[in-house]
Structure 1
Amino acid sequence: MIKIEKASVDDIEEISMLAKNIYLKYNSHIDTEEGINNVLLFISSDNMRLRFFMEGSLILVARNENNSILGMIEIINYDHISLFFVDDKYFKSKIGTRLFEEAKNILKSDKYTVKASDYALEFYKKLGFIKLYNDIQEENGVHFHYMIY
């Protein structure tokens, strides 16, 4: 039984580790060294805590029956997905879809943006996002597809 709920500050260390593991395994191969360092800094527990407290980011987690975190989504400014990761053992299990649907229920925005990794591009398309540019974008060594929902 998977439950979706708002994260607490006590969850941030586990969330940060999940994000780091999945990023390094699936997304980092096309980023430059500068880009990898920038992403790792962004997903660090310290920076995540700052966004949580100072910017009021919405962080939702998916938990299993053992209370382990299997997935997470972070939305900043009420409409931008800044982080979205699911444990790779649970890819294609609808956890990501459920996280996004719950975030939409809470925030009630009519549009969302994301800088999607190349690896996650097809997932975002299935959620209903469209690419704003044909080519992959690059910013500070990080490669992404700018998408809107």
Structure 2
Amino acid sequence: MRIDKSKIMVRCAYSSDWEGAIKLAWDTFVRYNAPDYSQEGIENFRKFVNDDMLRKMFLAGHYQLFVAVFEGRYLGMLSLREKKHISLLFVDGDCHGNGIGKALIRFVSKYVLEEEGIDKMTVNASPYALGFYHKMGFVDLREEMEADGIIFTPMELSLVKKS
């Protein structure tokens, strides 16, 4: 699906965005990530995104959420933990290749640097997303790991240009 990028709004999420953003994350995980995971990993991811404590942390401002929206439809979502760690980043599978993930990373990078005063972001990249993060400038911190059935590569992005 091709989308007019100028009509996509990337913004901080409102409390009313939570359910739609989490549904997008789960649906996209099932379609693209779950095939790489054990049943334990899939179940642990499901528990994580459905954890009411996570929603309460978001509502209290301790877990930041950003969304990419087009004509009322959630096309992408990114959540931050500890002001600098990408906890979740998902783009609607029908919209891959439209620059939505890139727009979310750019928006959040600017937010982290300018609003939080932090010059690095981290992520535990899934095997499916590893190439995307490399394209965005993230570098591997360690080799692929597994914890609780979740497979990931720890990565980091410097938000300041080296002189």
TM-score range, shorter chain: over 0.9
Q: Cα RMSD (Å) of the superposition?
A: 1.4
1:104 paired to 2:112: no
> Amino acid of the residue matched to residue 11 of structure 2?
E
Separation of aligned partners in 2, 1:30 and 1:70: 23
SS at match of 2:58: helix
> Amino acid of the residue matched to residue 139 of structure 1?
A
Name which of 116, 119, 123 aligns with 2:128: 119
- TM-score, normalised relative to structure 1: 0.92
Separation of aligned partners in 2, 1:85 and 1:43: 12
1:61 paired to 2:67: yes
Identity of aligned residues (%): 34
Q: Does the 8 Å CA contact 1:7/1:61 hold for their aligned counterparts?
A: yes
Separation of aligned partners in 2, 1:87 and 1:27: 13
Q: Does the 8 Å CA contact 1:72/1:86 hold for their aligned counterparts?
A: yes
1:130 paired to 2:139: yes
- Segment drifting more, 7-16 vs 42-51: 42-51
Displacement of 1:51? 2.7
Partner residue, 1:86: 91
Return structure 1 stretches of 4+ with deviation > 6 angstroms. Answer: none
Whose Rg is larger?
2
Number of residue pairs aligned between Structure 1 and Structure 2? 147
Separation of aligned partners in 2, 1:137 and 1:24: 20
- TM-score, normalised relative to structure 2: 0.85
Separation of aligned partners in 2, 1:51 and 1:121: 27
1:146 paired to 2:146: no
- Rate the CA distance shift 1:28–1:47 in 2: closer, same or farther, 3 A: farther
Show CA shifts across 1:90-133 (max 9, x none).
Answer: 11111111111111121212111111110000000011001122
Displacement of 1:62? 0.5
> Which runs of 5 or more residues in structure 1 are unaligned?
none
Separation of aligned partners in 2, 1:95 and 1:47: 28
Q: Does the 8 Å CA contact 2:109/2:121 hold for their aligned counterparts?
A: no
Q: Does the 8 Å CA contact 2:112/2:119 hold for their aligned counterparts?
A: no
Displacement of 1:54? 4.3
